[in-house]
Amino acid sequence: MLAMEKEFDSKLKIQGNNSSNSSNGGNVQRSKSFAFRAPQESFTIQDFELGKIYGVGSYSKVVRAKKKDTGTVYALKIMDKKFITKENKTAYVKLERIVLDQLDHPGIVRLYFTFQDTFSLYMALESCEGGELFDQITRKGRLSEDEARFYAAEVVDALEYIHNLGLIHRDIKPENLLLTNEGHIKIADFGSVKPMQDSSITVLPNAASDDKACTFVGTAAYVPPEVLNSSPATFGNDLWALGCTLYQMLSGTSPFKDASEWLTFQRIIARDIRFPEYFSDKAKDLIDKLLDIEPTRRPGAGPDGYKALKMHPFFAGVDWKNLRKQVPPKLALEQVVQFIWLLKHMDIQTFGISF
């Protein structure tokens, strides 16, 4: 176990200045040394007061964690070293860490620091107390078009930033779109991220995304047909997932959902989309274009870039320069929380209760 800890130390603790290789013919910038913005600290899990679990993955879970000495709340991603080693996921974990370290956008969760112990790796991420966009869709049944437009615009803004850096997220879905206390969107979970060959992000030699075009990455209901057909990853992958997410916001369910994963894949390949009657023409047109079989025809992936996506009639009236200054849709509370809020605010005299 100590040997494993030393191995992770050597792979995850990088010292020195950033010295990228600029003569690699446009390939991903690689560096033997890297100065992290988010430091690797010597904290222990006992330094934190753990709260509710935000989410659980195959080799990790994310929990609410309050630092005991400062009171600062983080979303603490706890990763199982044994599983990561056994499944050869070390490079993926390291890539996620180093990519998050270089991202700086209000629509993306921030990485503050990392630490480790014998059994686990820890990433202290920005805590988004508003929960997942998925929860809002579930609690409300479906979102109004104004609500969906607001959230979709903030996702587009963050995706444009990510794509301009030469990165593909590859797992855009409502569960990975988190909400701040105020209700603004932040993209999370970069565990499937892939740098393109001309990416401006610096990666380390042993922190590489898969280089095989046929690698399946993502979540079944949001995977584009080209991935199922073993084509190379492109920015269009994320835009297809955006189209699926917008459809889900407006309808309450993903467009290709079926009784099994296999049936879902068949519907994706056949592009079997059924629009509810209450979808506006503008919404249907945008979703239809984002779910184009040809990735380069999807708005945002073509020669006009994100200009074509932002100028779509569905986004008419959106102030792209001041998105984060706009008032977000009201968040729907969990039923238990809502009940407590009602108890606190209703007139208890009505019930003949006195204190």
**Active-site residue list:** 171
For strands 177-179 and 131-132, give the pairing. antiparallel
Q: Report helix, strand and coil shares of the chain as percent, to nearest 5.
A: 40, 15, 45
Residue 61 pairs in a beta bridge with 56, 78
Distance between CA atoms of residues 140 and 192, nearest Å: 29
Distance between CA atoms of residues 220 and 241, nearest Å: 10
Residues 162, 100: contact at Cβ < 8 Å?
A: no
For strands 120-126 and 73-80, give the pairing. antiparallel
Residues 114, 124: contact at Cβ < 8 Å?
A: yes
Distance between CA atoms of residues 127 and 284, nearest Å: 34
Of 211, 164, 159, 205, whose CA–CA distance to 185 is shortest? Answer: 159
Distance between CA atoms of residues 36 and 17, nearest Å: 9
Distance between CA atoms of residues 271 and 268, nearest Å: 5
CA distances from 91 to 88, 94, 340 (A): 8, 5, 45
Distance between CA atoms of residues 14 and 251, nearest Å: 46
Block residue for tokens 């565990």: 191
Q: What is the DSSP letter of 330?
A: P
Element (H, E) at 210: none
Distance between CA atoms of residues 135 and 143, nearest Å: 11
